[in-house]
Structure 1
Amino acid sequence: MALVVISLVLGLCVGAFSAPAPDTPKQIDLLMPHVQPKVPDTYLCHGMKLNSSATYITGFIPNANMNIAHHMLLYGCTSPGMKKPVWNCGEMASDSSMFDTAPTCASGAKILYAWAMDAPSLSLPKDVAFAVGGDTDIKYLVLQVHYKNVTTFLPPQNGNDTSGLNLITQKNKLPRRAGVYLMGTGGRIKPKSTVFMETACKFDSNLEIHPFAFRTHTHTLGRVVSGYRIRDGKWTEIGRMNPQKPQMFYNVTTPNLTVKPGDILAARCTMLNDRDTTVNIGATQNDEMCNFYIMYYVDGKTIMDDNYCFTSGPPNWSWENFGQGDLALEDMPDTVSLPPGSSEPLEEGKDDVARDDESLESILDNLQPRELEELYEELAEEGKDNDLNGYYYGGY
């Protein structure tokens, strides 16, 4: 009888020590299931259904190589774009693709995390987490990978890919919920020029948010991306970074910042195009992007429903076109287009190289009618307009 009692006690003790505490971190792996994309600039998505009980994400560990993956995005979805293990979720789909095509999310898309250029791991501040699953509207996690180089997946290597994320999670509820607010533009960047791509939105949410991290994203032409909160005409920097650095989430440059209803959020990408052709905002690595991410927390469990601020960008939209309040442009900081570590801010305008005779034809082919007329008038004053006559009177 004594042996039975001892055995029961030992069994209970072993059970007690082997069961993890509710707040013990657990790693969840969300990785591409050995895929073989065959075409550069393929976007692939892989989804994971979440449990009926809530999970709290407190950290992100990327597993990817910037020479293969151009970038990765983690979405929370109410429903995924497709229930299949992998699908093509980009604009570069073709009839020859081995993957069916669908959007990233069919409904309820929210960006939770973004990675590019070998950015390191991210741990959220104390008491802050992304809440997913359970009674939240995020029922699925979807990993999106934009493949830059597919050489290793083609013969003779015939390799496969498991790029993705290790998510650090726990089951215990935390008092502060995390969210991501994304600002960006469309538009195009003229040849041989420095262009400001700008966006701004009035903060109409009834919540007060606390930005704690920011991330910048462009492709190769971005030189500095900066974001601001404007309150009563005063500009306060949220973050400013050279997007050619690792595109991680950095601590905000103004600690203890808040954004309240009625504030204005503004962002600018300063782009330097040294090419002879116009570059458009688009989905491929040869196109461009202009994104400023704000990672924030709220006290309580309710985050914003509207987490996006986008404008059409240049040449159709700039801060001067903002109509939701006073941006107080005369009071903007001198450092808006100043790359960190530099002493001279970049100025918008055409570079002198653009006027070289050798590149004249390619420049003219990318000009709009009014731009061509202004260039003609300017060069005519310098006596250099002869070469333009065929273009100016040729139907532009």
Structure 2
Amino acid sequence: MFIYTFLISVCIFGAISQTTQAAPSNERLDDDQYDINITLSHQVLKENPKLWQVCTGVKMERAEEYIVAFRAIYQKGIVHHLSAHVCGAPYSDGPYWDCTLHDHICADMGSWYPIDEWGRGANDWILPPDTGVVIGGRYGGKYIVLQVHRKDDFANYIETATVPVSGMTLTVQRSRPQYEVGQLVLGNYGKLPAGVENYTTDSSCPWTRPQPIRLLAYSLHAHNLGKCVSGYLIKDGKWIEIGRGNPAYPEYRFSVWPRNMYVNTGDIMASRCLYSNPGDKEVKFGYQHEDEMCNVYLHYAFPYGLDQSYRHMDCGQDAETYHWEDHFRDIPADSTRPDGNTDQARAGLFRSADY
């Protein structure tokens, strides 16, 4: 995978001690929906302080079910990011495992696709009516794997934590929705040069599938050097802003469902990031905490039953060699401005994330 969707260190550590995690628990909401909690005990992190990424998984009950809401369970100071993934089988059948390496999430990464990402004290995400993330069915993928990315100084907060676990509450629906939910990730690979200010990295890809999709939500992500992230839909040369903002703010999933944004064959989705790297070392794009990222996560709806490939797509370009100016005209002047009339501003996110 060339898109660095998750923050992963490449160090390999020794054996993990066997501390029991908090078991997943189900709460019935009505005849059609129930909540399932997938959590990891903070005791696991405490006893394995060298682990950056820890995974745990749960097998879903029925042949096919549909996730319709994601809610984070976290303690300020302990969790940096949480992400949820679908697997045909988890990488390990233990209660938890080291998933510092990206290919240690699922036993067969060919069956893997990400379904949600949470970070920086972000909001819950409730899907629009008659949409859902499909689990199981004709494509397999009956396991949900939770990946917990701890913070650097997590140990300072564990003893006083009021929440003993980190994880997600998933609302699962039994009845089939009309539309499935997929995810497209716009981003970069390569490296960020040393000693640069106001440096931009770009990406874009056309929608080549015959079936149109409807955008549901987006979120913006970069690491420590990122100053602005923006995403656009380009239709017949016209730029339509999906969203832009400061990646240091809470990583909200902002809904665009009410805007009726459809992506048709030939339309282009594009992303841009603004960076400042005053240091004397180049920084590569990658999974490690000290690497950089430029990701726009786009969640979208498509009719139920289409090919599995609609469920997840990556779009990546070389950070040093790919530039919008070589391909497009009428580039928005505010594509590198995180302020102004943005979803972040309307949500009152005027501060760096305190989580």
Whether TM-score is above 0.5 comes out as yes
Q: Distance in 2 between matches of 1:152 and 1:213?
A: 34
Q: Scaled by the length of structure 2, what TM-score is found?
A: 0.78
Q: Which residue pairs with 1:246 in the alignment?
A: 250
The answer to which structure, 1 or 2, has the higher relative contact order (CA under 8 A, 6+ apart) is 2
User: In the alignment, is residue 72 of structure 1 matched against residue 82 of structure 2?
Assistant: yes
Distance 1:22 1:154 in 2: 39
Moved more, 273-282 or 283-292: 273-282
**CA deviation string 1:182-202 (max 9, x = no partner):** 111112223242221211112
Evaluate the alpha carbon distance shift between residue 155 and residue 205 of structure 1 in structure 2; reply closer, same or farther with a 3 A threshold.
closer
Which residue matches 2:187?
A: 184
Report the CA distance between 1:91 and its aligned residue: 3.8
Question: Measured at CA, do residues 183 and 304 of structure 1 come closer, stay the same or move farther in structure 2, by a change above 3 Å?
Answer: farther
Q: CA deviation at 1:302?
A: 2.6
Residue correspondence of structure 1 range 351-390 to structure 2 within 5 A: none
CA distance 1:124–1:260, shift in 2 (3 Å): same
- Structure 1 residues 73 and 20: alpha-carbon distance in aligned structure 2, compared to 1, 3 A threshold: closer
Query: In the TM superposition, what is the alpha-carbon distance from 1:162 to its structure 2 partner?
Result: 2.2
* CA shift digits 1:169-225 (9 cap, x unpaired): 221222121111111111222324222121111212222110021000111221211
Structure 1 residue runs of 4 or more that deviate by more than 4 Å after TM superposition:
153-161
Query: Is it true that 1:36 corresponds to 2:45 in the alignment?
Result: yes
1:102 is matched with 104
Q: How does 1:136-215 map to 2 (within 5 A)?
A: 136-149=139-152, 151-152=154-155, 162-189=165-192, 190-215=194-219
Q: Please, which runs of 5 or more residues in structure 1 have no aligned partner?
A: 1-18, 93-100, 322-326, 344-396
Contact 1:228/1:238, CA 8 A, preserved across alignment:
yes
Task: Provide the residue aligned with 2:338 in structure 1.
Answer: 339
Which residues of structure 2 form unaligned runs of 5+?
A: 1-27, 343-355
SS where residue 165 of structure 2 aligns? Answer: coil
Q: Which residue number in structure 2 is paired with residue 290 of structure 1? A: 294
| Number of residues of Structure 1 aligned to a counterpart in Structure 2 | 310
Q: 1:311 to 1:176 in 2, by over 3 A?
A: closer
After superposition, the Cα gap between the structure-2 partners of 1:149 and 1:68, relative to the gap in structure 1 and judged at 3 Å, is: farther
Per-residue deviation at 1:303?
A: 6.1
Match of 1:120 among 120, 123, 134: 123
TM-score, structure 1 normalization: 0.70
Residues 185 and 330 of structure 1: is their aligned pair in 2 closer, same or farther, counting only changes over 3 Å? Answer: same
Structure richer in helix, relative to its length: 1
Q: CA RMSD in A?
A: 3.1
User: What residue number does 2:20 align with?
Assistant: none
Matches within 5 A, 1:225-304: 225-252=229-256, 255-302=259-306
More strand by share: 2
Three-state SS of the structure 1 residue aligned to 2:202 is strand
1:66 offset after TM fit, Å?
Answer: 5.1
Local SS of the residue matching 1:173: coil
Task: Report the equivalent of 2:329.
Answer: 330
In structure 2, relative to structure 1, the CA distance for the partners of 1:65 and 1:196 (3 Å cut) is: farther
